[in-house]
Chain A
Amino acid sequence: MATAESAGGAVAAPAGGAGLQGAVALAIAAFLLIFLIVPVGTVIYVAFANPDGGLTLAHFGSFFQLSLMRESFWNSLYVAAASVVFASLIALPLAYFTARFQFRGALLIQTLGVLPLIMPPFVGAVAMQLVFGRSGSLNLLLNDWLGITLPIMDGLNGVIFVEALHYFPFILMNLIVALNNIDSAMEESAQNLGSSGMRLFRRIVFPLAMPGYVAGASLVFVKVFDDLGTPLVLNTTNMLAPQAYLRITSIGIEDPVGYVISVLMIVFSLFALWASALALRGRDYATLQRGGSTLGKRRLKPWQSLLAYGWIAFVLLLVLSPHLGILLLSFAKVWSFSVLPDAYTLEHYATLYHDSPRMIGNTLLYCGLAAGLDVVLGTAIAYLMLRSRLPLRRSLDFMASAALAIPGVVLAIGYLRTFRNVEIPFSGELLTSSWILLMLAYTVRRLPYALRSCVAALQQLHVSLEEAAENLGAGKRRTIQRIVVPLMAGGMLAGFVTSFMTAAVELSATIMLTTSQSAAPMSYGIYLYMQSAAGRGPGAALGVLAVLLVALGTYLSHRFLRSRAAELETRM
């Protein structure tokens, strides 16, 4: 990093910390440049290139010629917006009730509430079809009882349904963190002044939790807008991401229009993130006190708690039914056109046991390292963005967030192309044949998730706490270590968990970058099994293991966070 430091000196501001900040910023920029911008650039320059090497914008003209593309754009926009609405409807009550009221099993609900994010590739789709599909359990029952079927999984509405179920945890997690971070004095004074119920929520709680909500909602919006897997699995092609994918991955042609779509998706996603940042600008969400554990949790009246429990039970049943489906599938002998499987067996797990035990370790390793890196990078970017006065500091955020709109295949091909013949120092092994690239691909692809959580957490942290620490003689470094990081811990953890769990089921880059079976993670194994009729059971079993693993990790990290919080309090 010698270059980064020497160049960092150039931006050094009078304040002692600025030089270091500049160096860190440059190091992050270099990382993003090497592992995101350059590799992706080597692939999508096609959008601007003529075969003779010249640059052209003509391919964009070709894009706008196609009415199919306009239709796809509006479809993607509609699906993304509608998914945010439905995801919010699911997430808001879950977050508010469990964070603000005396609620049995709040931790369990919060843990179960993030499970939908881990939808193992293909297995999740098969399970969804078996539960909600045209001949799924629900429709078979409805048809038997009432003679009707609901086209839940058809067309754009099907995509919205699945996306909302899949991604609402982004809102849930960020909102819970935000709610826990609100200064309890605010709510208590509002209550003392006679506010309660919806009014309290609408006027005080929700506005103060806004950074968390916006972080989650913008992530859902951009993620859904750029999502490829769900529309493809539901065979919906008239949306932007599938159109780009279908054109890019056709055998034998490099179709520039596919890359034009990618470029436009990146631009639009960044625009959406920028707009969401704009919505928060000029308002101050920071509060001095952290409220979560000190705030007296309110009691619900009996009828209210009946309603709340009922609603939560319904929502959890809905969002976890794919996981129930996967569980049943993993024990099923044959499950076809029936409400439940015909017979049950344990043999799929036995198959796994002697087939692929190593994959679990690999997943833990790659995703753990990737999520760890994500949190470090995310915290650093958030800090630089909100606390430093470096020029162009927002561009780090934009660079990192651009990863959301880049199909995994494009990033993976870019990696293979950029790092061809690059050796790992001291080992002589090729970088392209090691698992490091895969881990880095996870890091880059999941960085936006961790980043949004970290930014939201820091937005809620009042700068005067840091100023106080500095006035008391703590250096920048010590302030960050002792004040900023501990108080941001909730957001960082939420970021870690999201990055980890979504990386654990990442598929497109995984298939491309897996170079040996011994280095393959679980998602590759699931994909492999799900290519044949006989592999459905073992694939589902591996999916169950992936879900359990991540759920356990989430639960433990919540526990850890709680004990840390308790520890901090006793120390204060």
Chain B
Amino acid sequence: MAIKHRAVSRRTRLVSACLFGLACAATLPAQAQQVLSIVTSFPKDLTAVYKKAFEARNPGITVEILNKGTSAGVAFVREAPDGNKPDVFWASAPDAFEVLANEKLLQKFDGANKAVPAKVGDYPINDPEGLYYGQALAGYGIMWNTRYMKANKLPEPKEWADLAKPVYFNHVAISSPSRSGTTHLTVETILQGEGWNEGWRQMLQIGGNCAAITERSFGVPDGVNNGQFGLGLVIDFFGLSAKSSGFPVEFVYPSVTAIVPANIGLIANAKNAELGKRFISFTLSPEGQQLLFDAKISRLPVLPAMYEKAPAGYPNPFGGKITAKVKFDSDLSRSRYYVVNSMFDHTVTFRHKELVAATKAINDAAAKLAGKPNAKAEALLNEARKVAYSPVVGEERARDKEFLSLYSASKRDALKTKQLTALEEEWGSQARKNYARAQELAGQAAALAR
């Protein structure tokens, strides 16, 4: 047995030697080459294409992609030591760039491509301060799974308002605007397009039809691809690229949509700022913009001239088929950013169960009443709708400077935290009360119809 024992320990030693060797190999400095590092929330499908093209044009440079998800990416840039920060930040969410700019983590340079127009619709493509640039455009729309729709006999939607219809109850998915900067823009577009009260009424109805409020924005297209959800509110390339990857999905832009840029910016105190500049300029050049037409990427270029070379049927935001009807006011959006997000979370995301129950009760009552008109029941049902689908913050208050300023500072002291949590509590419990009351009223209406 002693022999065997020795054999075992020899094996152990061999294993540890291998591990040690591996450890050494891994600590060796990566390359003697110049390394450009990019923090991004974009999928590999997109970044790999750019990495390959840029490396081919710039021999000797290695592009290092750090895929982190937006909020982790911001934190990573913030925590990295000066002089050793990554070079480029590249993501969709405009709010992430706002934060980076406010914390002086972005650096200005004259890299803009002059051929890029100042605005798409009413939304400025480049940051007015010149700290970051629009690199591609994206519009919001509705994506659906054709098999799911067929199996559940659902009609194809055209507008946001369609998603509020009872027929889509429990079939829709949306991501929370506090988790996805792009969803926030959709919500804001609806609020600006329809007005505060009507916009919230629609949002709450859509929320009531949702099977889930997802935590990640990719959760929506992922679930639609699976067939887990029937329809979802998504950014266009999620829909277009899923379709081109063979999934049984369709995508449509509603007439009220926001076209907004996905941005790219140079990080301040970066390790290789020169390479960063070169890369940003490349992504904005015709060659870099051409890459966006790749089927797995499917994004809209910011250079209008590119659309002449676009594949057939490719959407064109510059006076093509999709037009942003809403005069999007980005200052207004910015001023109430946290209010809208917090309201959405405390009345929809966290009270989703109750909202769905109220919506179901209202739908059931409406279905019962459809056959036999009953004035009193109608009145009750309308009251139920009003209670359930009114925003907890009125339009006037949402414009109040003092109220908005509560949310402005990024650091929170005890008093502010207390005020904010008091608001959250108020909204949450008000929403819960509203939904319970609506459910009760709808129940009464249904009882009358019998």
Residues of A within 8 A of B (CB): 50-52, 56, 58-59, 61-63, 65-68, 126, 129-130, 133-136, 155, 232-233, 235, 237-238, 242, 246, 249-257, 333-338, 361-362, 364-365, 368-369, 409, 413, 416-417, 420-421, 427, 429-430, 432-435, 511-512, 514-519, 524, 527-536, 560, 563-564, 567, 570-571
Residues of chain A contacted by B218 (CB below 8 angstroms): 531-532
Most buried by A among B65, B102, B425: B425
Known A511-B67, A563-B8; further 18 A-B contacts with Cβ < 8 A: A62-B420, A67-B425, A68-B428, A129-B228, A135-B148, A242-B215, A250-B71, A251-B95, A336-B227, A336-B248, A413-B75, A417-B79, A427-B27, A512-B75, A517-B65, A519-B26, A529-B44, A560-B8
Interface residues in chain B, defined as those with a beta carbon under 8 Å from any beta carbon in chain A: 1, 4-5, 8, 19, 22-23, 26-27, 29-30, 37, 42-46, 64-72, 74-76, 79-81, 84, 93, 95-96, 98-99, 102, 145, 147-148, 151, 178-179, 181, 211-215, 218-219, 221-223, 225-229, 238, 241-242, 245-249, 296, 338, 341, 345-346, 349-350, 352-353, 410-415, 417-418, 420-422, 424-425, 428-429
Closest to A153 in B: B228
Cβ contacts under 8 Å, B245 to chain A: 533-534
The answer to whether A533 and B418 have CB atoms under 8 Å apart is no
Contact residues of B: prevailing secondary structure? helix
Q: Name 26 interchain pairs, CB-CB below 8 A, sorted by A.
A: A58-B414, A58-B417, A62-B417, A65-B421, A65-B425, A135-B226, A135-B228, A235-B212, A250-B341, A252-B74, A252-B410, A254-B411, A255-B412, A336-B226, A337-B226, A365-B23, A409-B72, A409-B75, A434-B27, A511-B69, A517-B64, A528-B44, A529-B44, A534-B45, A567-B4, A567-B5
Chain A residues closer than 8 Å to B26, beta-carbon distance = 362, 365, 435, 519
A529 to B67, CA, bound (A): 10
How far does the alpha carbon of A409 sit from the alpha carbon of B99 in the complex, in Å?
19
In the docked arrangement, what's the CA distance between A427 and B412, Å?
40
**Within 8 Å CB of B96, what residues of A?**
251-252
From B42, B80, B296, give the contact of A416 (CB < 8 A).
B80
A65 B414 Cβ-Cβ under 8 A: no
User: Judging by beta carbons under 8 Å apart, are A531 and B44 in contact?
Assistant: yes
Give the secondary structure class of A's interface: helix
How far apart sit A469 and B68, CA to CA, in the bound complex (Å)? 54
CA distance A420 to B80 in the complex (A): 7
Give A478 to B340 CA distance when docked, in angstroms. Answer: 66
- Chain B residues lying within 8 Å of A362, measured Cβ to Cβ, are 26
Contacts of B428 in A (CB 8 A): 66-68
In the complex, the chain B residue whose C-beta lies closest to that of A260 is B417
Given A67-B429, A534-B241, does the pair A130, B226 have CB atoms closer than 8 Å? yes
Q: Which A residues lie within 8 Å of B414 (CB)?
A: 50, 56, 58-59, 62
Alpha-carbon distance between A65 and B249 when the two chains are bound, in angstroms: 44
A51 touches B67 (CB 8 A): no
Please report the C-alpha to C-alpha distance between residue A126 and residue B225 in the assembled complex, in whole angstroms.
Answer: 10
Find chain B residues with CB under 8 A from A433 CB.
84
Report Cα–Cα, A570/B4, bound state, in Å: 12
A322–B447 CA distance with the chains assembled, in angstroms: 44
Alpha-carbon distance A567/B7, docked complex (angstroms): 12
Q: Are B93 and A251 in contact, with the CB atoms below 8 A?
A: yes
| Cβ of B107 to closest chain A Cβ, rounded Å | 19
- A66-B425, A338-B147 known; A518 vs B43 contact (CB < 8 Å): no
Closest residue of chain A to B229 (Cβ to Cβ) is: A134
Q: How far is the CA of A237 from the CA of B172 in the complex (A)?
A: 18
The answer on a CB contact under 8 Å between A251 and B181 is yes
Q: A66-B425, A528-B43, A534-B45 are in contact. Are A251 and B70 (CB under 8 A)?
A: yes
Could you tell me if B72 and A511 are in contact, using CB atoms closer than 8 angstroms?
A: yes
Contact of A533 among B23, B151, B241, B350 (CB under 8 A): B241
Q: With the chains together, A400 CA to B416 CA distance in Å?
A: 34
Q: What residues of B have a CB within 8 angstroms of the CB of A435 in the complex?
A: 26-27
Measured between beta carbons, the chain B residues less than 8 angstroms from A529 are 44
Instruction: Please report the C-alpha to C-alpha distance between residue A233 and residue B225 in the assembled complex, in whole angstroms.
Output: 15
User: Which B residues lie within 8 Å of A429 (CB)?
Assistant: 27, 29
